[in-house]
Amino acid sequence: MRAKPQGLLPRNPVPVWSPPTATTDPVLEKDVAGDSFPLPQLKTFPEAFQGVIQTELNYSVILQWMVIMDPEPVVSWTLNGVPCGIGERLFIRRLSMEQLGTYMCTATNSKEQLVSAPVTISLPTNVQPTEPEPMEPDPTLSLSGSAAISFIVAGILGAGVLIGGLCFTIIQSLRYFHPSPHCTGQHPLSPHEALSWPNKETEMKPTAPSRRVTGTPEEPV
């Protein structure tokens, strides 16, 4: 019997060509499937409420990446999609109008890449002014025209009495420290009495007794 001729194909046939398959990130696959991981939250000062920081201009704002990754990642920041800084902390010293917007942080290492939840910095919302409601005056605190005039007159009289009392007290204190001649029993001298006063003093001055001794006859022994 003749041997069957061998085919031209090799024993290990080459598999049929298939289009290349793209590898996808498991994180992205979960995002597409709807079972996404929660985005990392940033630590902020002032504290963000529902991803929004409301603050005034010229105030400081701090955004910080808090996720620990191994190996250490490269952290970058974007403002409205435009790069604005690198490092784990973004420090805005004095907030300006150009720095208002939405910030996001991206951390990348050799294993993975994480993106933070967005944080929006905005100015405080202005409260619309409400129309003032008329208020009725309190009858216990309101004063009519005549009552107001009486109150003013009473205040003026009270101030006058107070000033008069102070003046009287000052005059009495001056009299106490500087008494008048009538209070001390002394009378002011007339010009004639003032000129004759030195002569009166010499007349009233007592004379010294004479030192002359009158002798007495000696009595015979």
* Extents of the domains making up the chain: 29-122, 147-181
Q: In the chain, pLDDT over 90 holds for what percent of residues?
A: 39
pLDDT at 17: 46
pLDDT digits (tens, 9 = 90+) for 91-131: 999 999 999 999 999 999 999 999 999 999 999 987 565 66
- The pLDDT, as a whole number, for residue 165 is 84
Q: Kindly give, in sequence order, each residue whose CB lies less than 8 Å from that of residue 51, ignoring residues fewer than 6 positions away.
A: 117, 118, 119, 120
For residues 32 and 37, give the distance between their C-alpha atoms in angstroms, rounded to a whole number: 11
Predicted TM-score (pTM) of the model is: 0.45
Residue 52's beta-bridge partner residues? Answer: 49, 120
- In this structure, the chain runs to a length of 221
Once rounded to an integer, what is the mean pLDDT over residues 51-70? Answer: 95
Question: At residue 28, what is the residue type?
Answer: L
Q: Which of 115, 38, 117, 27 is nearest to 73 (CA)?
A: 115
Q: Are 51 and 41 in contact (CB under 8 A)?
A: no
Contact 68, 104 (CB under 8 A): no
What Cα–Cα distance (Å) separates residue 140 from each residue in 37, 144, 153, 162?
A: 66, 11, 20, 29
Q: How confident is the model at residue 63 (pLDDT cuts 50, 70, 90)?
A: very high
CATH number of 29-122: 2.60.40.10
| Residue 178 to residue 194: CA distance in whole angstroms | 23
CA distance 87 to 145: 72
pLDDT, tens digit, for every residue of 141-181? 555 667 778 778 888 888 888 888 888 888 877 776 666 55
Among residues 110, 109, 102, 107, which one has the least CA distance to residue 89? 107
Residues 63 and 86: their CA atoms lie apart, in Å, by: 11
